[in-house]
Amino acid sequence: MNKKELFFDPRRVLLLFVSSNLLFLLLDVGLAHSYGPFDRKEDWYPLIFSFLGGSGALLYSLKRRPSKNFRYLFIGIMTGGVFIGLLGLFYHIQSALLVEFSLKSFVYAAPLIAPLSYTGICLVGLVADGALRLPRFSRQQVLFLLVGLGFFGNFILSILDHARNGFFEPVEWTAVFVSIFGTLVLLGAFFKKKLTRQDTISIFIALILVALTGLLGFVFHLHADLNNLMPSWIDRFLYGAPIFAPLLFMDIAALGFIALFAHKDHDVWDEKAKKIFTLDWKNLGLLIASEPFRIFFPLGILYAFLGVLFWPLHELGILFENVTTKWHVWMMVYGFIFAFVLGFLSTALPRLTDGSPLNRREFSLLACLHTVAVICLICQKFFLMHIVFFITMLTFIFLMIPRVQRRHRPLPASFIFLPFAFVSVLLGQLITILIYMKLSWHVSEFYYLSKALIFQAFPVFLLLGVGGFLIRSILGWADNAEKKSKNYSRAFAINTIIGAIILFAFFVESFYRPFSAGLTKALFVTIGFLYNMKIHRKPASDKITSRWLMFSMWLVIAGMWGQTLWPSHELAFLHLCFIGGFALAIICVATRVILNHGGYKRLLTGPSAMFSTAACLMTVGLFTRFIADFLPKTYSQHLTYAGTIWVLGLVIWSFFVMPKIIKKSREISS
């Protein structure tokens, strides 16, 4: 089989890291030294070295077997870079002492330890070449030491930089605390000969926190510079918040991730990393088409990030200033939920019906339609967005109908809820489109109905349909073949009645708002969940997702009852359904799908610290959002906190599960 591997040795990756950093310092140092501008010849030294060192490291990385003379030249350049950084440190300290020997002079002088970035980068270059070794310490340990020292440098820079404005914003302390946390974790890893799984997870979380802090800091600094009152754009970046300083967090975190993959005994990547980045390019298109979740799930995560970060960024006034709140709503429904629904059902239905998977043309059509719809949403072309999503759902249904008709075995009895789900979403989209066309209807009633069908009926019916088969199986309550055949007709009839009553209750509640309709809806949703998924019983399975799935189902039920009993807080209970029920259930089901199809079944059993951490953070984000409606004075702040915490949980889950999505599938039984 013809395979092309995305596989690089650590030497090349580290040299490219060194080269890119030195070349980037041309811009960073050039901007910093332009204060003078360049009134001393010493100001030119780092710029000249950045060009020579960066170019040399790039050429050295491209050579498979560099000559001995070239290697000596490279070592000489890197050694010179170490002394360039120390010389810069001397000059910066001297500039501070020229004013007076006081803490104030150090705070407002040139950033003291900034030149040591040259020293650190060139030490990485020497480690990559093998010229720098520490006795009894592996290359990975030495890299952990450099990363830890880099985080400590960030700690000092953050204190001195933010002290200039007296830590006016409390969020400025985040960089200080995260830096010292990263320093302690990475220096601890330096002294460990062999990393345990807990060590790896701790390093992973520390690197993620540092990287996110850098990204957030860059956004804050950019926002401060853009809103600066100076008339010149150049002066805003020259004399405002240092625009590139927060990127140092992300840069050093990237070196930490490289160190995680560096094998401690051999100059090759860890075998696990090699397997992850090994793809069968010849059959990649066929693999993705037959298992569309490999594309739709990552897209769904991306859309979730966009949808949830709307609130923190909108509150800070950084982005989304001219975007309405319905952008957030539709991004979570049409972007996040629909991506996972399309990915899961277009993978599962052909397998359950023993039919043919999607071919490349069918998959491409479905993916393109969904992407176009999201682009319309991002551009706030809501009318066009609804039309394209309507076409997307029709396309998906027409692709699945022939496969269901040619099935060789009966579908699970709970799948009768899927037609109810599709009818709900298509009808809701159609009503929304007609409202945009300004037809002379009782707009308020139909508007309420369309939202109820899309936001509540559609995901509830999906959970009932998929849950009666998959979630029930995950919880350990799958019936044997004999019992299933005896009860199939009865279960099919009961589920049909439950679905019809729930759908009818949505219609009655939307038009007439009687209390009895809300009670009927909540009651039969509860009956449907208990009957099909047996969530009132203790899970018979020890899978990592079992208890969280059960918890998410109960949150949906609680949200349904809460809307009816406390209509004044309907929005809070809708979020209980959506964030706690639908979103958490999606994450649990996606975890099972990815691990099963990737050949990681062993990870499904037993505890998982990363999955549990992610789920706990998402739950904390949920309840932070829930109580926001009961605290009107701090409503906006709670939305910011909730969005940030939920996204952090999603990031941790993504790093736990998403790398496994690109591994070639193994055949598994449904």
Question: Per-residue pLDDT tens for 165-199?
Answer: 665 666 677 788 888 888 888 888 888 878 877 77
Nearest Cα to Cα of residue 50 among 113, 111, 143, 121 = 121
| Predicted pLDDT at 75 | 85
Nearest Cα to Cα of residue 500 among 556, 420, 418 = 420
Per-residue confidence at 229, pLDDT binned at 50, 70, 90? low
Please tell me the pTM assigned to this model.
0.62
CA distance 86 to 403: 69
Return the structure tokens found at 154: 């960030």
Is-contact 23 59, C-beta < 8 A?
Answer: no
Instruction: Give the residue carrying structure tokens 């070639």.
Output: 664
Instruction: Please tell me the least confidently modeled range out of 14-23, 112-121, 343-352.
Output: 112-121
Select the more confidently predicted residue: 47 or 94. Answer: 47
| Predicted pLDDT at 198 | 76
Nearest Cα to Cα of residue 469 among 495, 506, 498 = 495
Is-contact 355 400, C-beta < 8 A?
Answer: no
CA distance 597 to 594: 5
Is-contact 207 182, C-beta < 8 A?
Answer: yes
Instruction: Give the residue carrying structure tokens 């079944």.
Output: 601
DSSP 1: -
The overall longest dimension of the chain from CA atoms, in Å, is: 91
| Predicted pLDDT at 107 | 44
For 40, the 3-state DSSP assignment is coil
DSSP 658: G
**Consecutive H or E run containing 188:** helix 173-190
Is-contact 9 267, C-beta < 8 A?
Answer: yes
Query: Residue 172 is which amino acid?
Result: E
Nearest Cα to Cα of residue 539 among 605, 610, 609, 622 = 605
CA distance 564 to 370: 34
| Predicted pLDDT at 103 | 44
Is-contact 148 190, C-beta < 8 A?
Answer: yes
| Predicted pLDDT at 278 | 42
Average pLDDT over residues 131-142: 81
Q: Is 135 exposed, middle or buried (0-12, 13-18, 19+ CB in 10 A)?
A: exposed
Per-residue confidence at 593, pLDDT binned at 50, 70, 90? confident
CA distance 380 to 367: 20
pLDDT tens string 273-324: 344 334 444 455 566 767 888 888 888 988 888 888 877 776 666 555 566 6
pLDDT tens string 145-160: 888 888 888 888 787 7
Angle between helical axes of 382-405 and 360-378 (0-180°, round to 10): 160
CA distance 134 to 147: 15
Exposure string for 212-227, b = 16+ CB within 10 A, e = fewer:
bbbebbbbbbbbbbee
CA distance 554 to 614: 19
CA distance 280 to 4: 7
Asked if the model's pLDDT at residue 484 lies above 70, the reply is no
Give Cα separations from 548 to 455, 499, 539 (angstroms). 22, 25, 11
Is-contact 59 18, C-beta < 8 A?
Answer: no
Is-contact 621 558, C-beta < 8 A?
Answer: no
CA distance 526 to 528: 5
Give Cα separations from 165 to 95, 107, 154, 488, 633 (angstroms). 21, 10, 17, 70, 28
